[in-house]
Amino acid sequence: MDLIEGAETQAARAEYTEWLEAFLPADYAADFGRYRYDTAFRRRHQREAFAAGWLVPTWPVGLGGRGLGPEAAVAVRVEGALRNAPKLVSVQSVGVAAPGLYEFGTPAQRARHLVPTLRGEQDWCLGMSEPDAGSDFASLRTRAMLRDGRFVVDGSKIWTTQADESQWCLLYCRTDPVAPKHRGISCLLVDMATPGITVRPIRVAHDRMDRFCEVFFDGVEVPADNLLGDLHGGWGVSLASLRHERDMIWVMNWVEIERARRRVDVAAARTDRDDLRVEAGRLATDAAALRFTGLRVAAAAAAGRDAPEFHILKLFGSETLQRAWDLVAEAEGAAGLADADLTVDGLEALGATIYGGTSQVQRNILAERVLGLPR
């Protein structure tokens, strides 16, 4: 991998930085604690990033992108991270649903959903996990039976992030109860306003955290045209979705690690505790390793190669993130305890080793598929 940035990357970085600095209010850095929870502001950022082609920079012009290569796109995301660019209100809409629609959608589905999703006018939730099918996703039991040009859905999902605020759901259902588990699943685009859907938010540890919900489907009718991808081909759609999700997650983790590191560095400079300084140094090294590994994966993608390193990004990023916020709490001591934002950051980091595939499952993937170890 070439660590010297090419002309495209340099130009993209400079142009994006200029755009972002013009967008952010003068008091943004000083008042980040308020802006980070300002949903209207974050939605405006999404719309303007879409219009300027910075939302999904690798995508074509007109779809929130500017056709950049993966290395330049990573450089843009890293630059945004360094400036604490506003977070999307619904990360799964842009990071998972939109790529799924782009890759598997019919022309009519793309025309109906893509631009509104990217502009933040249609939010999506991901209906994958069920009470008895989390890591073992292929065991899902929610059924969708095709009758008279409609799927009729019965069953339930759990841990569905922002289901109560989303207009649409990317819903995975069993459409062939007889086929082997992973060959009988289909993905449906479900309008959350359809009769028969009940959404029950799950109480979370802090009211500033994203909510997740239980979602119940009772005889819900979904037009057959809302099938995404092939009938019984939902396993392939889900694998692509998970890849998009993990692609997005490592950068999200890195962004948060860098934010935590800035606090650790301030606290470490004020103390004479050598152990804290050593940990701050380890964290800096690990954050850099995560970033360079991500860049290596991007370089491989640009060269049309698969990179086995991809499979350590989610695991290493989420575990480092938890260490990072623990270290902030340790370094700030009693002052940190009084900071509600730090509580939220620490709690959200706990979920990072679970969503998008738990650490244990990531280790299984590394052992079996990358290292070729026996089961």
Question: Does 358 engage in binding with ligand FAD (CB under 6 A)?
Answer: yes
What minimum distance in Å lies between the beta carbon of 204 and ligand FAD?
9
Region from 129-137, 220-228, 269-277, 294-302 binding ligand FAD, contact rule CB under 6 A: 129-137
Tell me, what amino acid is at 147? Answer: R
Instruction: Find residue 161's DSSP bridge partners.
Output: 212
| Phi and psi at residue 373, to the nearest 5° | -75, 155
Binding-site size, ligand FAD (CB under 6 A): 18
The stretches of 201-339 forming alpha helices (DSSP H) are 234-269, 274-302, 310-337
To ligand FAD, the closest distance from the beta carbon of 370 in angstroms equals 16
Q: Between residues 1 and 205, which has the closer beta carbon with respect to ligand FAD?
A: 205
| Interface with ligand FAD, residue 135, by CB under 6 A | yes
Nearer to ligand FAD, 109 or 358 (CB): 358
Q: How far apart are CA 253 and CA 352, in angstroms?
A: 8
| Residue 345 Cβ vs ligand FAD, minimum distance, rounded to whole Å | 13
Task: Please report whether residue 173 would count as binding ligand FAD according to CB under 6 A.
Answer: no
Tokens coding 330: 């340790």
User: Do residues 190 and 153 make contact, with C-beta atoms less than 8 angstroms apart?
Assistant: yes
Q: Which of 71, 245, 256, 258 is catalytic?
A: 245
Pairing mode, strands 168-174 and 227-228: unpaired
Please provide the distance, in angstroms rounded to a whole number, between the alpha carbons at the two ends of the chain.
33
Q: Which is nearer to ligand FAD, 159 or 235 (CB)?
A: 159
Query: Counting contacts by CB under 6 A, is residue 128 touching ligand FAD?
Result: yes
Q: Which residue is nearest to ligand FAD (CB)?
A: 134
Look up residue 357 and give its amino acid: G
Q: How many Cβ atoms are within 10 Å of 200's Cβ, its own excluded?
A: 13
Q: Are 217 and 142 in contact (CB under 8 A)?
A: yes
Interface with ligand FAD, residue 360, by CB under 6 A: yes
Joined tokens for residue 182: 């992973």
The question of whether 245 is a catalytic residue gets the answer: yes
Q: Which residue in this structure is represented by tokens 């259902």?
A: 173
- Give whichever of 231 and 354 is closer to ligand FAD, judged by the CB atom: 354
Which residue, among 334, 341, 328, has the nearest Cα to 257 in the 3D structure?
328
Give 9 or 318: the residue with its C-beta nearer to ligand FAD: 318
Contact between 347 and ligand FAD by CB under 6 A: the answer reads: no
**Per CB under 6 A, 354 contacts ligand FAD:** yes
Task: Using the structure block, give the residue that is written with the tokens 């360079």.
Answer: 292
Site membership for ligand FAD, residue 96 (CB under 6 A)? no
- Render the burial of 226-235: b for 16+ CB within 10 Å, e for the rest: bbbbeebbbb
Q: Verify binding: residue 126, ligand FAD, rule CB under 6 A.
A: yes
Contact 332, 267 (CB under 8 A): yes
Question: Is residue 56 helix, strand or coil?
Answer: coil
- Distance, CA of 124 to CA of 114 (rounded, Å): 11
Examine residue 161 and tell whether it contacts ligand FAD (CB under 6 A).
yes
Is the Cβ of residue 267 or residue 312 nearer to ligand FAD in the bound state?
Answer: 312
Compare residues 17 and 364 and give the one whose CB is closer to ligand FAD: 364
Helix (H, G, I), strand (E, B) or coil at 201: strand
Q: Does 129 bind ligand FAD (CB under 6 A)?
A: yes
Shortest distance, CB of residue 155 to ligand FAD, whole angstroms? 13
134 binds ligand FAD (CB under 6 A): yes
Report the alpha-carbon distance of residue 96 to residue 149 in Å, rounded.
Answer: 27
For residue 172, the minimal CB distance to ligand FAD (Å) is 8
Taking the complex as a whole, the smallest distance from the CB of residue 132 to ligand FAD amounts, in Å, to: 8
Distance CA 331, CA 328 (A): 5
- 94: its two tokens: 């842009």
Span of 15-23, 108-116, 120-128, 287-295 interacting with ligand FAD by CB under 6 A: 120-128
Min. distance of Cβ 133 from ligand FAD in angstroms? 7
Alpha carbons within 13 angstroms on the beta-carbon side of residue 302 total 20
Is residue 361 within the footprint of ligand FAD (CB under 6 A)? yes
Among 46, 90, 160, 238, binds ligand FAD (CB under 6 A): 160
Active site residues: 245
What residues line the site for ligand FAD (CB under 6 A)? 125-129, 134-135, 159-161, 212, 351, 354-355, 358, 360-361, 364
